[in-house]
Chain A
Amino acid sequence: MKILVCISQVPDTSTKIILKNNNTSVSSDGVTYVINPYDEWYALIRAIELKESGTANEIHLVTVGKADVEPIMRKALALGGDEAIRIDAESNDPNETANHIAAYAAGIGYNLILCGKESIDYNNGTTGVMLAELLGMDFLGFATDIQIEAGTAIVKREIEGGEETDACSLPMVISCQKGVAEARIPNMRGIMAARTRPLKVIAPAAQTPLTAILSYELPPAKTGIKLISPDNMDELIDLLHSEAKVI
């Protein structure tokens, strides 16, 4: 079985976001980039587990980005991928990204494509499902557990107020969230092996984004917190009513 894991580069969660160019772009100065946690901790690690258990025999990693995303792709390789592919394009549009990946993946014959449920920067959460559509594959989203049995994926998904278990035959695309696997730390053997594993760069097919980002706005600055003594419920109710205006 051949697995493709979609990887996205995102700013580290502790990054202080600074906007530039009249709030039309985000400054990358001093920003540390990481693998999107949903892609790394869940999708990639589950793929590695499937390979370790003998279910899968090859893991490919794919990303859409310029050369500056290569460090995180090598880190992904250090965790355990066999080969990485970078589609040499910049994209902030999920449809465009999905089209880039689909154009690459169409003829390869992947049995399973895993991605995170969303990237933690733009939170679109739609690349996976679009990719499935473009490749003519089935899709299950928000998986919390993935088992593969005789060409069928048994997938647990969170639903409102509970959980469901689905069966779907491969090939398919699954988006992953917490529960699918446990985070791992790359070990020395992986880090050293990452140097020798291929990181292929392929030219993108021409795509037209369907959306464009016009501007960004930062959330309003946090205002002061008022501490009310537990003995003074009247004051709390009064403030919730008159200041916070929530009751």
Chain B
Amino acid sequence: MNATESIKAIKGGEFLIRETAADSIFIPEEWNEEQLMIAETCTNFIAQQIAPNLQRIDDQEAGLMPHLMEEAGELGLLSISIPEEYGGFGKDFKTSMLVTEKLGAGHSFSVAFSAHTGIGTLPILYYGNEAQKQKYIPKLASGEWKGAYCLTEPGAGSDANSGKAKAKLSADGKYYLITGQKMWITNAGFADIFTVFAKIDDDENLSAFIVEKDFEGLSLNTEEHKMGIKGSSTRQVFFNDCKVPVENLLSERQNGFKIAVNILNIGRIKLGGGTVGASKEVITLAVRYANEREQFGRPIAKYGAIRYKLAEQAIRTYASESAIYRACQNMEEATEMLMALGLDETKAKLKGTEQFAIEAAILKVHASEVLDYVVDEGVQIYGGMGYSAEAPMDRSYRDSRINRIFEGTNEINRMLTVDMMLKRAMKGELDLMGPAQKVAGELVSIPDFGAAEAEGLFTKEKKYIANFKKAILMVAGAAVQKLMTQLGKEQEVLMNMADMLIELYVSESLQLRVEKLVALRGEEACKEQLDIMRVYINDAAERIARSGKEALNSFAEGDERRMMIMGLKRFTKTEDINTTQARRNVAAKLIAENKYCF
């Protein structure tokens, strides 16, 4: 197998047990001219059409959001990755992620956009038959029709398959009659097309249907009053013997849950991209404010307490972004490989994305929590003005919060991360057992001090990351062994394990990105990026140690516990660095550029 083939054979979740070469990942510093032009179009659209209208959007001025969606449609932003035969531009996943990221600064518009292009369009694009695709996709792609997705019910949120909505065949066999109530439906107020999930008769699993807003028996409740994303239409949708032609069954009977899960895999990583875009916008606002606001005769950007915050906002955002585009590239490569094996494009895309469902869940959690950190500190940097509804941080703070809840709560996504990893190990798709046993052996051997190795720019960080993997394998191996089938019920341990995996994946992606960047631009041009990497990995080691310790202390005892805690210390040990100076360097660059600049 040559190097290229081995790169393409990377499997989802494998980051835990294998090394990745820096030159094999995609980094955002590699966008080509066309992609940068697309990004600029998005940024200009936000600056000219969305930013001046944020209050009107939040007031839900009649017709404004659908009009803005149509404008985005005219620019082609609703159809970036839709195939050309259905009126789209057939761009790759990374480019559509770039668009999602740039439009992520659009507050409620960004939610409407993401719901429409993701869950509103993709179920039909990926699971529709040719007639359904021909009928619906071109109009969704242009923005003439807006899409919504009806899965959640009052009693079925995280447990989506437990919904009560029912469908039964009409006496003449021409229609499914859907009855039920759907809740938190984004874009409901102006959507033309709803993808609705319901169980046919007494089926165990959901089926999916394409429902047009004018179908008899569909009605909408009034707008929900929400904490944030106030401009996003969110309503309950009622189905009262709603007449849906039989040809509008999407995919096959009982295939709905699979559709829901697979579409969510894409939605999750896209949410990560959108929140990175929002984080960058908030950082830019915070830097500008810090440069302008003077106290005690100096701009507050001159004070260390503020500089720390600005740097940390940027460090976490850059780290999250590194992992998102790495995973995007992996999804594309997996798709290409599956197509080369004979799968059609749609199936390959779904399978390729599913292959990296672990990473998608990780990134949903990480990027949404980074945004929450960024907006929280954004408010703090603005001080009293941060708490004023007249300044932008108020909206950013409130709008951020939903990201930890929708597309699967962060708790559900953390559990999924571990669950999927262990299931793949049990199916034999991922060999976790071998490496875990090796680590267990290492615990009782003399530590490797690694003195003989020549020191390169990334030697230490690579060693730390290899050790993080050992720490996780040790904790996970012990948890599986001790708790066995009870592990699923020990949610605190699952959260700890997920947190460790998240920190590992992000740390490794960040290290690989900076390594590749240095190879492209040289060390001198990447000083701040090196500082970002060093600080993040230094802190990640502490976070991994804390999560690991909490997990081990919950189920291990006696000598075994002592031995593993010692092992954990060894695997999360890093050399002391001056993180204060490193953060100052990062902040200095932000302050000089007066914007997020990495």
Give the docked Cα–Cα distance between A54 and B313 (Å): 51
Contact check: which of A75, A188, A194, A195 meets B77 at CB < 8 Å?
Answer: A188
In the complex, whether A192 has a CB less than 8 A from a CB of chain B is yes
- For B79, the chain A residues whose CB sits under 8 A away are 188
- With a CB–CB cut-off of 8 A, which chain A residues contact B33? 71, 74
Please, which residue of chain B has its CB at the minimum distance from the CB of A225? B294
Q: How far is the CB of A199 from chain B (nearest CB, A)?
A: 12
Q: Bits for B35-72, please: 1 = Cβ < 8 Å to A, else 0.
A: 00110110011001000000000000000000000000
Instruction: Say if the beta carbon of B34 comes within 8 Å of chain A.
Output: yes
In the complex with contacts A16-B592, A74-B33, A195-B34, A186-B41 CB distance below 8 A: yes
Q: How far is the CA of A186 from the CA of B74 in the complex (A)?
A: 10
B34 touches A191 (CB 8 A): yes
Residues of B contacting A189 with CB < 8 Å? 76
Our pick among A14, A75, A187, A195 for the contact of B76 (Cβ within 8 Å) is A187
CB distance from B520 to the nearest CB of A (A): 16
B385 at the interface (CB under 8 A from A): no
Q: How far is the CA of A56 from the CA of B363 in the complex (A)?
A: 50
Cα A226 to Cα B276 in complex, Å, equals 39
Interface residue count for B (Cβ, 8 Å)? 20
**Chain A contacts for B89, CB-based, 8 A:** 188, 192
Q: A16-B592, A192-B89 are in contact. Are A185 and B37 (CB under 8 A)?
A: no
Number of residues in A with C-beta < 8 Å to the partner?
17
Across the two chains, which residue of chain A brings its CB closest to B35?
A191
Distance of A36 Cα from B80 Cα, bound (Å): 28
Find chain B residues with CB under 8 A from A192 CB.
34, 89
Tell whether B402 is near chain A: CB-to-CB under 8 Å: no
User: How far, in Å, is B72 (CB) from chain A's closest CB?
Assistant: 10
CB nearest to B297 among chain A residues? A224
Pair A187/B41 contact, Cβ less than 8 Å: yes
Whether A188 lies near B48 (C-beta < 8 A) is no
Complex Cα–Cα for A78 and B45 (A): 15
Nearest residue (CB) in B for A189 is B76
**Is A185 in contact with B44, judged by CB distance below 8 angstroms?**
yes
In the complex, the answer to whether B75 meets A188 with C-beta atoms within 8 Å is: yes
**Residue A183 is within 8 A (CB to CB) of chain B in the complex:** yes
B45 adjacent to A185 (CB under 8 Å) = yes
Contacts A187-B41, A191-B34, A191-B41 aside, 10 further interface pairs with beta carbons under 8 A come to: A14-B594, A16-B592, A71-B33, A74-B33, A74-B37, A75-B40, A185-B41, A185-B48, A188-B75, A192-B34
18 A-B residue pairs with CB within 8 Å: A14-B595, A16-B594, A30-B593, A71-B33, A75-B40, A185-B44, A185-B45, A186-B37, A186-B40, A186-B41, A188-B38, A188-B76, A188-B77, A188-B80, A188-B89, A191-B38, A194-B34, A194-B37
CB-CB nearest 10 A-B residue pairs: A188-B76, A187-B75, A185-B44, A191-B37, A187-B76, A188-B89, A185-B41, A186-B41, A71-B33, A185-B45
**B interface residues, Cβ below 8 angstroms from A:** 33-34, 37-38, 40-41, 44-45, 48, 74-77, 79-80, 89, 592-595
